[in-house]
Amino acid sequence: MSEKQGKMTEIRWHGRGGQGAKTACLLLAEAAFFSGKYVQGFPEYGPERMGAPITAYNRISDEECTVHSNIYTPDHVAVVDETLLSAVDVLSGLKEGGVLIINTTKTADEVRDELPGFEGPVCVVDAKKISMEMLGRNFPNTPMLAAVVKASDVLDEERFISDMRKSFEHKFHDKPEMIEGNMKALQKTMDEVRVE
Amino acid sequence: MAIRERMSGNEAVATAMRQINPDVMGAFPITPSTEIPEYFSQFMADGLVDTQFVPVESEHSAMSVCIGASAAGARAVTATSSAGLAYMWELLYVAASSRLPMTMAVANRALTGPISIGNDHSDSMGARDSGWIQIYAESNQEVYDNFIQGVTITEATRIPVMICQDGFITSHGVSNIELLEDEKVREYIGEYEPEDYLLNSDHPLAVGPYGTAPYYMEVKRQQAQAMKDAMPVILEAAEKYGKITGRNYGFFEEYRMEDAEVAVVVIGSSAGTGKAAVDRMREEGKKAGLIKLRVFRPFPRIPLAEAMCRVKAVAIMDKAESFSNSGGPLFSEARSALYDLPQRPLAINYIYGLGGRDITVEDFDRIYDELFAIEKSGDPGDVYRYIGVRDSRDGEGQER
């Protein structure tokens, strides 16, 4: 736990409008809040249109953070749509040793091959496959969130899982099948993904 | 016991409105304040408030609804932003000159030209002469606290109040917040008992009549007096609020100013970013401080000047242009306030953050470095500067 104390973690999300990068960012803020952290979760708004690249940010810390700027040197980067690799410099400012967490069917080495010069750690998550298997629908947010928590080591995993159950129970109180489906997607992601 | 939550600035304002349970809300949705009437509509649908919600076809009408409601004797609120606030312009003056209490949430955003949805203060700064009280917030916590205090301030002063926060930056940013219990909010604001109102048939009155030349100027003089008299009311509201929350507010906040040699004066969320730069400077042994202005109308001329004159050099920051070729609105007023003091600091202006342009801790580092250089040389150079813009006028190597 010691390295999770006193340190601020900054995460930058890349997605396309309508894919839920903002939602995943706000879910992470919520999960971190439940863990007793100080949190910030905020999207960067541009011309809002479906499919346009969007960015969202998280700051997670044990102390209040008053900084209200965007994040230029993230500890980790989460990419919800792999087609962004050729469109946006997702690695911009990524700190040494920072993890690239990416929703893809590719392997970590295949992802690195697409990013010349990048030799840092990668965490691949096939969020669509996990979501289809566990929820029967493509909601990549829950697997992405779980992968970010696992790869960033920013939250205590057991606490995170129990907090998320409460959160899903609250959110889906009239759709109980969504509670179990989301929990299974969360657990499966936590079990399967690793930083390579 | 305070309620620990996490929410956006917009949800925080909507929550304050739910706890206030106003009689009337007139609203038209506009980015980025749209979420406020959205959340509030949900509270209506859930039966959590008994407010008369009047959805209208424009902000001009939203303000008209509030004017009508307040004149009738109701506690009225609304929310808007940017072009929506601009569309209310004509009516802002009607509300203020008719001395109608109401509380308006503003999510600050650039005015169009070119089209922008980004944050800056050009909307409410443009409305600074309309006769409204203006209170600005650094965070979701502050905008929540300010909105609740705003209700007591507007009703005690009979001046309408604008509660401003930075659009998107705090309006859509989720972070930690401490809420008051509903009953504590209701106890704090009390029942609204208007002095005179249209629905009081025992005391008929006219609201908003023609102000002929023999009367118009007296009305304006009384508004000016009311703004002056609002100063102690704002402090009393803050003191009473501090007693129940432990969160203390004034006209401005002084951050590490005790022994500061240079200071930045700034409004809104960027003050938080500036504080991080102050901390960094202090770690290097540099005596930097920051003043965050909370109340812009009425302008706390004397106390602000007294706070600024304790340093040698001050950078006054404006998130709005006024195209005066002499600096932004805060600079003009803050620098003018220093004129009466025999010992005054060198003062420079930075225009920053227009149309959503980000300002970083590193930008503030540069500003503080510049201030220390000015302190040393005694030469402020060109006082009217920009920061964070692709332009030669960014303050470096400027001749006077």
Starting at the edge strand found earlier in the chain, the sheet holding A76-79 runs A122-125, A100-103, A76-79, A9-16, A53-61, A38-44, B174-179, B3-8
Q: Structure tokens of B77?
A: 């609120």
What is the per-residue pLDDT for A139?
Answer: 86
Mean predicted lDDT score pLDDT of chain A: 92
For chain B, 400 residues long, the average pLDDT of each consecutive 10-residue run is: 93 98 97 95 96 97 98 98 98 98 98 95 98 98 98 98 98 97 98 94 94 97 98 98 98 98 98 98 98 98 97 98 97 97 96 97 98 98 95 48
Residue B388 vs residues B65, B354, B356, B366: alpha-carbon distances, Å: 40, 9, 11, 11
Q: Structure tokens of B198?
A: 């249209």
ipTM rounded to 2 decimals = 0.93
Q: Which of B30, B172, B365 to mutate to test the interface with A (most CBs of A within 10 A)?
A: B172
Which chain A residue lies closest to B9 (C-alpha atoms)?
Answer: A42
Q: Which residues of A touch B275 (CB under 8 A)?
A: 66
pLDDT above 80 for A131: yes
What is the per-residue pLDDT for A45?
Answer: 77
* Local confidence band at A171 (pLDDT 50, 70, 90 cut-offs): confident
Which residues 22-41 of chain A have a CB within 8 Å of chain B? 26, 29-30, 33, 38-41
B3-245 matches B252-386 in fold: yes
What is the per-residue pLDDT for A85?
Answer: 94
pLDDT above 60 for A4: no
**Chains A–B, number of C-beta pairs less than 8 Å apart:** 64
Contact B172 A43 (CB under 8 A): yes
**Chain B: closest CA distance from residue A39 (Å):** 5
Rounded-to-integer distance, Cα B57 and Cα B68, Å: 16
Superfamily of domain B3-245, CATH level 4: Thiamin diphosphate (ThDP)-binding fold, Pyr/PP domains (3.40.50.970)
CA R_g for chain A: 16
Taking only the tens place, the pLDDT of each residue in A77-100 is 999 999 999 999 999 999 999 999
pLDDT above 90 for A138: no
Which residue from A116, A154, A106, A148 is spatially nearest to A14, judged by alpha carbons? A148
A30, A33, A68 member nearest B169 (Cβ)? A68
* Local confidence band at A19 (pLDDT 50, 70, 90 cut-offs): confident
Taking only the tens place, the pLDDT of each residue in A31-80 is 999 999 999 999 987 766 788 899 999 999 999 999 999 999 999 999 99
pLDDT above 50 for A3: no
> Do the Cβ atoms of B102 and B161 come closer than 8 Å?
yes
Q: Domain A2-192, what fold?
A: Pyruvate-ferredoxin Oxidoreductase; domain 3 (3.40.920)
- What class is the B252-386 domain? alpha beta
Domain boundaries, chain B: 3-245, 252-386
